[in-house]
Protein backbone atom coordinates (compact mmCIF):
# COMPACT_ATOMS: atom_id res chain seq x y z
CA UNK A 1 0.00 0.00 0.00
CA UNK A 2 2.96 2.32 -0.45
CA UNK A 3 3.57 2.59 -4.20
CA UNK A 4 5.97 5.54 -3.89
CA UNK A 5 8.45 3.74 -1.62
CA UNK A 6 11.63 2.77 -3.42
CA UNK A 7 11.84 -0.81 -2.17
CA UNK A 8 15.36 -1.32 -3.53
CA UNK A 9 16.77 1.38 -1.25
CA UNK A 10 14.18 1.82 1.51
CA UNK A 11 12.37 -1.51 1.74
CA UNK A 12 13.58 -3.43 4.78
CA UNK A 13 13.40 -7.21 4.85
CA UNK A 14 14.89 -10.11 6.78
CA UNK A 15 17.72 -11.50 4.67
CA UNK A 16 17.14 -15.12 5.71
CA UNK A 17 19.63 -17.69 4.50
CA UNK A 18 21.53 -15.22 2.31
CA UNK A 19 22.85 -13.91 5.63
CA UNK A 20 24.68 -17.21 6.21
CA UNK A 21 27.52 -15.91 4.05
CA UNK A 22 28.20 -13.27 6.72
CA UNK A 23 28.09 -15.82 9.52
CA UNK A 24 30.44 -18.05 7.50
CA UNK A 25 32.86 -15.20 6.83
CA UNK A 26 32.91 -14.21 10.50
CA UNK A 27 33.46 -17.77 11.72
CA UNK A 28 36.22 -18.47 9.19
CA UNK A 29 38.03 -15.16 9.73
CA UNK A 30 37.82 -15.49 13.52
CA UNK A 31 39.13 -19.10 13.35
CA UNK A 32 35.98 -20.42 15.01
CA UNK A 33 35.81 -22.95 12.17
CA UNK A 34 37.90 -23.92 9.18
CA UNK A 35 36.92 -25.55 5.89
CA UNK A 36 37.09 -29.01 7.52
CA UNK A 37 35.08 -28.28 10.68
CA UNK A 38 31.86 -30.28 10.75
CA UNK A 39 28.74 -30.26 12.88
CA UNK A 40 26.13 -32.99 13.01
CA UNK A 41 22.74 -32.11 11.54
CA UNK A 42 20.03 -34.56 12.52
CA UNK A 43 17.23 -32.21 11.51
CA UNK A 44 16.64 -31.03 15.10
CA UNK A 45 18.70 -28.83 17.38
CA UNK A 46 17.89 -28.53 21.05
CA UNK A 47 18.84 -25.28 22.74
CA UNK A 48 17.76 -24.63 26.31
CA UNK A 49 14.05 -25.51 26.27
CA UNK A 50 13.51 -24.96 22.55
CA UNK A 51 13.83 -27.39 19.64
CA UNK A 52 14.90 -25.76 16.37
CA UNK A 53 14.58 -27.46 12.99
CA UNK A 54 16.50 -27.66 9.75
CA UNK A 55 15.40 -28.00 6.14
CA UNK A 56 16.76 -31.53 5.97
CA UNK A 57 18.93 -34.20 7.53
CA UNK A 58 22.50 -33.42 6.49
CA UNK A 59 24.64 -35.61 8.77
CA UNK A 60 28.16 -34.29 9.42
CA UNK A 61 28.39 -31.13 7.36
CA UNK A 62 31.11 -28.51 6.78
CA UNK A 63 30.78 -24.84 5.88
CA UNK A 64 30.83 -25.38 2.09
CA UNK A 65 28.03 -27.92 2.21
CA UNK A 66 26.18 -25.97 4.90
CA UNK A 67 25.99 -23.00 2.53
CA UNK A 68 25.05 -25.26 -0.37
CA UNK A 69 22.27 -27.01 1.60
CA UNK A 70 21.36 -23.96 3.70
CA UNK A 71 21.72 -26.04 6.87
CA UNK A 72 20.38 -24.06 9.83
CA UNK A 73 21.79 -26.47 12.41
CA UNK A 74 25.35 -25.90 11.20
CA UNK A 75 24.85 -22.16 11.77
CA UNK A 76 23.20 -22.64 15.16
CA UNK A 77 26.34 -24.48 16.24
CA UNK A 78 28.63 -21.87 14.71
CA UNK A 79 26.77 -19.06 16.46
CA UNK A 80 27.37 -20.69 19.85
CA UNK A 81 31.14 -20.53 19.26
CA UNK A 82 31.16 -17.16 17.48
CA UNK A 83 28.97 -15.14 19.85
CA UNK A 84 26.85 -12.09 19.11
CA UNK A 85 29.61 -9.49 19.45
CA UNK A 86 31.75 -10.94 16.67
CA UNK A 87 28.71 -11.56 14.47
CA UNK A 88 27.59 -7.94 14.92
CA UNK A 89 31.09 -6.74 14.04
CA UNK A 90 30.92 -8.54 10.68
CA UNK A 91 27.41 -7.28 10.01
CA UNK A 92 28.82 -3.77 10.36
CA UNK A 93 31.83 -4.59 8.14
CA UNK A 94 29.37 -5.65 5.42
CA UNK A 95 27.52 -2.34 5.82
CA UNK A 96 24.43 -3.55 7.64
CA UNK A 97 22.88 -1.15 10.14
CA UNK A 98 24.10 1.91 8.22
CA UNK A 99 22.84 3.63 5.11
CA UNK A 100 24.63 2.68 1.86
CA UNK A 101 25.12 6.44 1.31
CA UNK A 102 23.61 6.46 -2.17
CA UNK A 103 22.72 9.81 -3.75
CA UNK A 104 18.95 9.47 -3.23
CA UNK A 105 19.24 8.26 0.38
CA UNK A 106 18.61 4.77 1.67
CA UNK A 107 17.38 3.03 4.79
CA UNK A 108 19.88 1.81 7.37
CA UNK A 109 17.99 -1.24 8.54
CA UNK A 110 18.71 -3.04 11.79
CA UNK A 111 21.43 -5.29 13.08
CA UNK A 112 20.18 -8.08 15.29
CA UNK A 113 21.81 -7.34 18.62
CA UNK A 114 20.93 -6.72 22.27
CA UNK A 115 21.29 -2.97 21.60
CA UNK A 116 18.79 -3.08 18.73
CA UNK A 117 16.34 -5.05 20.84
CA UNK A 118 16.65 -2.49 23.63
CA UNK A 119 16.04 0.35 21.15
CA UNK A 120 12.94 -1.47 19.83
CA UNK A 121 11.68 -2.25 23.34
CA UNK A 122 12.02 -6.02 22.90
CA UNK A 123 13.65 -8.44 25.34
CA UNK A 124 16.84 -10.09 24.09
CA UNK A 125 16.82 -13.81 24.82
CA UNK A 126 19.69 -16.30 24.37
CA UNK A 127 17.90 -17.95 21.44
CA UNK A 128 18.09 -14.72 19.44
CA UNK A 129 21.74 -15.48 18.71
CA UNK A 130 20.69 -18.62 16.83
CA UNK A 131 18.10 -16.72 14.82
CA UNK A 132 20.57 -13.92 14.08
CA UNK A 133 23.08 -16.39 12.61
CA UNK A 134 20.57 -17.45 9.93
CA UNK A 135 19.34 -13.95 9.03
CA UNK A 136 16.16 -14.01 11.09
CA UNK A 137 15.36 -12.25 14.37
CA UNK A 138 15.34 -8.45 14.03
CA UNK A 139 18.01 -8.06 11.35
CA UNK A 140 16.53 -6.10 8.46
CA UNK A 141 18.26 -4.98 5.28
CA UNK A 142 17.37 -3.40 1.97
CA UNK A 143 17.84 -5.11 -1.39
CA UNK A 144 20.59 -2.55 -2.09
CA UNK A 145 22.43 -3.62 1.08
CA UNK A 146 22.16 -7.26 -0.01
CA UNK A 147 23.58 -6.34 -3.43
CA UNK A 148 26.45 -4.57 -1.65
CA UNK A 149 27.00 -7.69 0.47
CA UNK A 150 27.26 -9.85 -2.66
CA UNK A 151 29.58 -7.28 -4.26
CA UNK A 152 31.82 -7.29 -1.19
CA UNK A 153 32.12 -11.08 -1.28
CA UNK A 154 32.81 -11.02 -5.04
CA UNK A 155 35.52 -8.39 -4.46
CA UNK A 156 37.23 -10.52 -1.79
CA UNK A 157 36.23 -8.24 1.07
CA UNK A 158 36.49 -4.84 -0.59
CA UNK A 159 33.23 -2.91 -0.17
CA UNK A 160 32.63 -0.11 -2.65
CA UNK A 161 30.11 2.69 -2.26
CA UNK A 162 27.16 2.17 -4.63
CA UNK A 163 26.29 4.90 -7.15
CA UNK A 164 23.38 5.60 -9.43
CA UNK A 165 24.33 5.73 -13.10
CA UNK A 166 22.60 8.39 -15.20
CA UNK A 167 24.35 7.59 -18.45
CA UNK A 168 27.48 6.10 -19.92
pLDDT digits (tens, 9 = 90+) for 14-33: 999 999 999 999 999 999 99
Q: Are the C-beta atoms of residues 163 and 102 closer than 8 Å to each other?
A: yes
CA distance 2 to 159: 31
Q: How far is CA 166 from CA 103, 117, 163, in A?
A: 12, 39, 10
- Per-residue pLDDT tens for 140-150? 999 999 999 99
Separation CA 33–CA 82 (nearest Å): 9
**Separate counts of helices (H) and strands (E) for the chain:** 8, 4
Nearest to 46 by CA among 21, 16, 1, 77: 77
Q: Who's near 48: CB < 8 A, 6+ residues apart?
A: 126, 127
**Residue of 17, 70, 99, 108 with catalytic role:** 17
Let me know if 17 is a catalytic residue. yes
Q: What's the length of the chain?
A: 168
pLDDT digits (tens, 9 = 90+) for 66-96: 999 999 999 999 999 999 999 999 999 999 9
Q: Give me the residues paired with residue 51 across strands.
A: 46
pLDDT above 70 coverage of the chain, percent: 100
Amino acid sequence: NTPLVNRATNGLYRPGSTFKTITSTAALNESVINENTTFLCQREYKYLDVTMHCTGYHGNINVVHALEKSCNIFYYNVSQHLGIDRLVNYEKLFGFGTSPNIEIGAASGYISSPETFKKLGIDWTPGQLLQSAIGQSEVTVSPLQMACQAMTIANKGVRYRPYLVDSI
